[in-house]
Copies of this chain bind each other. A is one copy, B any other.
Amino acid sequence: MARYGPMFGPDITFLGIDRCDMSDPASLRGAEIVVLGAPFDGGTSHRPGTRFGPSAMRGTDYKPHDGTRPHLALRTDALRDVDVRDAGDVECFSGDIETSIRRVEDAVHTVTAAGAVPVVLGGDHTIALPDVTGVARHYGFGRVSVLHFDAHADTGDIAFGALHGHGQPMRRLIESGAVRGDRFVQLGLRGYWPEPETLGWMARQEMRCYEMSEILDRGLNTCVREASALAMDDCDAVFLSIDVDVVDPGMAPGTGTPEPGGMTSRELLDTVRRVCVELPVAGVDVVEVAPPYDHADITALLGNRVVLEALSGIAARRQGGTWQPARPLLDGR
Contact = CB atoms under 8 A, between A and B. Distances in A.
A88 interface: no
A139 interface: no
A283 interface: no
Contact of A270 (B42, B216, B249, B259): B216
A30 interface: no
Nearest to A221: B217
A189 B46 contact: no
B213 A270 contact: yes
Contact of A203 (B91, B216, B250, B333): B333
Given A250-B302, A253-B295, A95 B43 contact: yes
Given A72-B190, A209-B330, A325 B216 contact: yes
A192 B81 CA distance: 14
Given A62-B45, A325-B217, A292 B293 contact: yes
A49 B292 contact: yes
Interface string A1-44: 00000001111110010000000000000000000000001111
A236 interface: no
A254 B96 CA distance: 24
A166 B302 CA distance: 22
Interface string A230-266: 0000000000000000011111111011111110111
Contacts of A296: 249, 253-254, 258, 293-295
Contact of A260 (B126, B217, B265, B294): B265
A202 B191 CA distance: 37
A327 B70 contact: no
Interface stretch (A108-116, A142-150, A193-201): A193-201
A82 interface: no
A138 interface: no
Contacts of A96: 42, 95-97, 160, 162
Chain A interface extent, by class? 35 or more
Interface string A294-309: 1111100110010010
A301 B213 contact: no
Nearest to A202: B330
Contact of A330 (B162, B164, B208): B208
A212 interface: yes
A34 B208 CA distance: 37
A50 to B, nearest CB: 9
Given A207-B330, A209-B330, A264-B264, A192 B63 contact: yes
Given A48-B49, A69-B192, A293-B296, 4 more contacts: A12-B12, A49-B49, A250-B252, A250-B265
Top 9 nearest A-B pairs by Cβ distance? A250-B251, A42-B95, A95-B97, A292-B292, A93-B160, A10-B12, A46-B62, A48-B48, A217-B325
5 contacts: A9-B59, A49-B292, A209-B329, A214-B326, A247-B250
